[in-house]
Amino acid sequence: MRDVAIVGVGQTRVGELWEKSLRQLGYDAIDAAMKDAGVEKADSLFVGNMLSGELAGQEHLATLIADFMGMRGIEAAKIEAACASGAAALRVGTMAVASGMADVVIVAGVEKMTDTLPPETTAGLALAADQEYEVAEGATFLALNAMLMQRYMHEYGCTREQLAEVAVAARKWAQLNPDAFERGDLTIEDVAKARMISDPLTKLDCCLVTDGGAAIVMTRADRAKDCPKTPIHLLGAAMEHHHRNISAMPELTVTATAKSGPRAFEMAGMKPADMDTVQVYDAFTINTILFLEDLGFCAKGEGKDFVSGGRIAPGGELPVNTNGGGLSCVHPGMYGLFVMAEAIRQARGECGDRQVKDAKVSLAHGNGGVLSSQV
Task: Find the catalytic residue in 158, 206, 242, 331.
Answer: 331
Strand order across the 4-11 sheet:
75-79, 44-48, 104-111, 212-220, 4-11, 232-233
Backbone torsion region of residue 323, taken as left when φ is above 0, otherwise alpha when ψ lies between -120 and 50, otherwise beta: alpha
Burial class (CB in 10 A: 0-12, 13-18, 19+), 215: buried
Catalytic: 206?
no
Catalytic: 60?
no
Q: Which one, of 150, 146, 165, lies nearest residue 289 by Cα?
A: 165
d(CA 151, CA 128): 20
HEC per residue, the chain: CCCEEEEEEEECCCECCCCCCHHHHHHHHHHHHHHHHCCCCCCEEEEECCCHHHHHCCCCHHHHHHHHCCCCCCEEEEECECECHHHHHHHHHHHHHHHCCCCEEEEEEEECCCCCCHHHHHHHHHCCCCCCCCHHHCCCHHHHHHHHHHHHHHHHCCCHHHHHHHHHHHHHHHCCCCCCCCCCCCCHHHHHCCCEEECCEEHHHECCCCEEEEEEEEEEHHHHCCCCCCCEECCCCCCEECCCCHHHCCCCCCCCHHHHHHHHHHHHCCCHHHCCEEECCCCEHHHHHHHHHHCCCCCCCCHHHHCHHHCCCCCCCCCECCCCHHHHCCCCCCCHHHHHHHHHHHHHCCCHHHCCCCCCCEEECCEECCCCEEC
**Active site amino acids:** 83, 331
